[in-house]
Amino acid sequence: MPPAPTPPHHSGDAPIPESGAAPLGDRVGAALEPLKNGDFRTAGVLAQSLIQDYPDRPAGYRIMAQISNFRGDQPSAIRWIDQAISRNPRNVQLKISRSQFCHDAGRVQEAIDILETITIDGPFADKVKWRHIMSLERLGRIDEAAALLEEIPHPLPPAMEAFRSQLEYRQGHIEAARHRLERLLSQSSTPTRVRGEGLFQLSRLCDAMGNYDAAFQAAATANIEFRGDFDPAAFESSTETMIEYFTPERFESLPRSNVDSDLPVFIIGLPRSGTSLLEQIIDAHPKAAGSGERRDPILISEDLTHVLGGSFPSCLDSVTEATLSAAGGQYVHMLTSYGFGVSRIVNKSLSLDRIAGLLPLLTPRCRVIFMSRNPLDNLLSIFLHPLRRDRNPWAQSLDDLCVVRQSFDRLREHWLNVLPCPCLDVSYEQLVHDQQNTTEEVLRFLDLPWNDACMSFHNSKRAVMTPSYDQVNTSMNTNAINRWKNYEQHIGPLLHAFPPDLQSQP
């Protein structure tokens, strides 16, 4: 499981006594406390105060960067950390942080370029190498990553030992990778987070070896370790509220942004439903680009609830055209950073189904593609893979997964009927079984001419930052279809909620 961002340490910010005010170190600690508790607004106010009082010290900028990173807004995190670096150009920790934010934003080569500017014989040498190793692996440069890992003194810390197993797996040394993980998991000193990550990786290895019982057991144990706090009744109630609020009549009465751009394309689907695959295919077109999972629309919806008061979507009752235009314009401006000359830019952020009614209000000329997959395969795949529990607290329970998929299906059907923008419905199975015709349909929907590059999407060198990153770089295959049959004896709740004989196949 990818580690959640860690609040910055402030040991490098030596306290400076100030008449009538707390020392800098105490104020940094006061700002970090609400950040740890998820109170980003209070942390932001305190961090901005630090920047005002200590403009040449990195503390306030680093906290603002961490706030942006926690919210999934890595570009803003990079901008904040750049302000700190401009005032502290020799601060190695700031450069390492910038590399992390670039990596998380999908700017992986840029992350490597930053690390290569750092002298690696100092006290941060191993940390620099560690970040370098992770970025090399994400770019598929596995042998380079493995060689660099050997330069770190052994024995390796548990997190690096687990990652070493991942590199062995990607090199095809599955048995060696499994033995390494089993040794690591047998040690009582292995930290809980590393244990969870290792169990998910062990599940993957066992699946690759055809030992499905062991694969499911490892994932189930990991999910117990990472169980989130999820309220199924509240989730279903929220779904009902969304359906009741966003009616054709409501869309007629709500204001629209004046942003006149047809750049935005949104792919809406649950995790592990094929959204990364479809984005990769579209990105292969010379007139299109993929922006990955940009959470900007989610963040806009959160900010609207704060500015307008109330909860989403009822807060939209008081939204104005000016507010929507400002937010929509900022979103489109962000998209232009992905390069000139393209006509469509795709965003496949998770949870867009929960705020889809906002999308055509922000960008009236947007297009929306809904992606679905056989629920048995879809939900099983989610259960077997690590997802951030703070954003997906339902992913660790088969029963909760059923609730979320049923809500998604209801919303998908609703949005297809009421969204005042062009919509297309695509299934993963349809795409896999009939790649060319489905791709042609998608390109027609996007008003893009046919291009053969879309059929060889797997040759792309772009960095994919989702758990599917090492799968979308292989050619189309049917390996993931009907995968649930390997786990049939373990997925009773899924079979009950979604009987196999009712799941249509192309």
Strand-pairing partners, residue 18, are 21
Element (DSSP H or E) covering residue 371: strand 367-372
What's 294's domain CATH number? 3.40.50.300
> Among 454, 422, 423, 421, which Cα is nearest to 437's?
454
Within 10 Å of residue 172's Cβ, how many Cβ atoms? 10
Tokens encoding 224: 């117990």
The pLDDT assigned to 25 comes to 87
> Helix, strand, coil % (nearest 5) of the chain?
60, 5, 35
Strand-pairing partners, residue 425, are 370
The pLDDT assigned to 237 comes to 97
150 belongs to a structural domain:
no
The pLDDT assigned to 457 comes to 84
Compute the distance between CA of residue 330 and CA of residue 333 in angstroms, rounded to an integer. Answer: 5
For 223-240, write each residue's pLDDT tens digit.
988 887 899 999 999 999
Tokens encoding 322: 């000016």
400 belongs to a structural domain:
yes
Enclosing domain of residue 485: 233-373+394-502
Query: In the predicted model, is pLDDT for residue 465 greater than 60?
Result: no
Structure confidence at residue 467 as a pLDDT band (50, 70, 90): low
For 110-146, write each residue's pLDDT tens digit.
999 999 988 877 778 889 999 999 999 999 999 999 9
488 belongs to a structural domain:
yes
For 385-443, write each residue's pLDDT tens digit.
998 888 899 999 999 999 999 999 999 999 999 999 999 999 999 999 999 999 999 99
Give the list of residues 6+ apart from residue 119 with CB closer than 8 angstroms, or none.
none
**CB of 370 within 8 A of CB of 427?**
no
The pLDDT assigned to 1 comes to 35
The pLDDT assigned to 22 comes to 72
313 belongs to a structural domain:
yes
Structure confidence at residue 461 as a pLDDT band (50, 70, 90): low
Structure confidence at residue 308 as a pLDDT band (50, 70, 90): very high
Q: What mean pLDDT comes out for the span 470-488?
A: 80
> Among 246, 69, 472, which Cα is nearest to 81's?
69
Compute the distance between CA of residue 189 and CA of residue 473 in angstroms, rounded to an integer. Answer: 36
The pLDDT assigned to 339 comes to 66
Longest Cα–Cα distance of the chain, Å, equals 74
Average pLDDT over all residues of the chain? 89
The pLDDT assigned to 478 comes to 84
For 243-272, write each residue's pLDDT tens digit.
999 999 999 999 999 999 999 999 999 999
The pLDDT assigned to 18 comes to 39
Strand-pairing partners, residue 369, are 267, 424
> Among 50, 53, 80, which Cα is nearest to 65's?
80
**Three-state DSSP class for residue 39:** coil
170 belongs to a structural domain:
no
Rounded alpha-carbon distances, angstroms, from residue 117 to 12, 91, 111, 139, 299 = 21, 12, 10, 19, 33
The pLDDT assigned to 3 comes to 37
Three-class SS of 127-172: HHHHHHHHHHHHCCCHHHHHHHHCCCCCCCCHHHHHHHHHHHHHCC
Rounded alpha-carbon distances, angstroms, from residue 341 to 147, 293, 335, 337, 448 = 39, 21, 12, 11, 13
pLDDT-above-90 percentage for the chain: 74
343 belongs to a structural domain:
yes
The region of weakest confidence among 41-55, 63-77, 187-201 is 63-77
Residue 8 DSSP code: P
Query: In the predicted model, is pLDDT for residue 471 greater than 90?
Result: no
Compute the distance between CA of residue 193 and CA of residue 197 in angstroms, rounded to an integer. Answer: 6
Compute the distance between CA of residue 440 and CA of residue 438 in angstroms, rounded to an integer. Answer: 5
Structure confidence at residue 9 as a pLDDT band (50, 70, 90): very low
Compute the distance between CA of residue 110 and CA of residue 477 in angstroms, rounded to an integer. Answer: 32
The pLDDT assigned to 405 comes to 98
Pair type for strands 423-427 and 367-372: parallel
**CB of 289 within 8 A of CB of 454?**
no
For 11-32, write each residue's pLDDT tens digit.
333 333 333 457 888 999 999 9
Structure confidence at residue 479 as a pLDDT band (50, 70, 90): confident
Query: In the predicted model, is pLDDT for residue 88 greater than 70?
Result: yes
Tokens encoding 463: 């960095």
**What are all long-range contacts of 300-303, with beta carbons under 8 Å and residues at least 24 apart?**
300/327, 300/331, 300/358, 300/362, 301/355, 301/358, 303/327
Q: What mean pLDDT comes out for the span 323-352?
A: 90
23 belongs to a structural domain:
no
For 430-441, write each residue's pLDDT tens digit.
999 999 999 999
Count of structural domains within the chain:
1
Compute the distance between CA of residue 343 and CA of residue 94 in angstroms, rounded to an integer. Answer: 36
**CB of 57 within 8 A of CB of 13?**
yes
494 belongs to a structural domain:
yes
- Transcribe 394-440 into DSSP letters: TTT-HHHHHHHHHHHHHHHHHHHHH-SS-EEEEEHHHHHHTHHHHHH
The pLDDT assigned to 19 comes to 36
The pLDDT assigned to 162 comes to 94
Compute the distance between CA of residue 100 and CA of residue 79 in angstroms, rounded to an integer. Answer: 13
The pLDDT assigned to 73 comes to 82
The pLDDT assigned to 154 comes to 86
- For residue 313, is the peptide bond before it cis, meaning its omega torsion is within 30 degrees of 0? yes
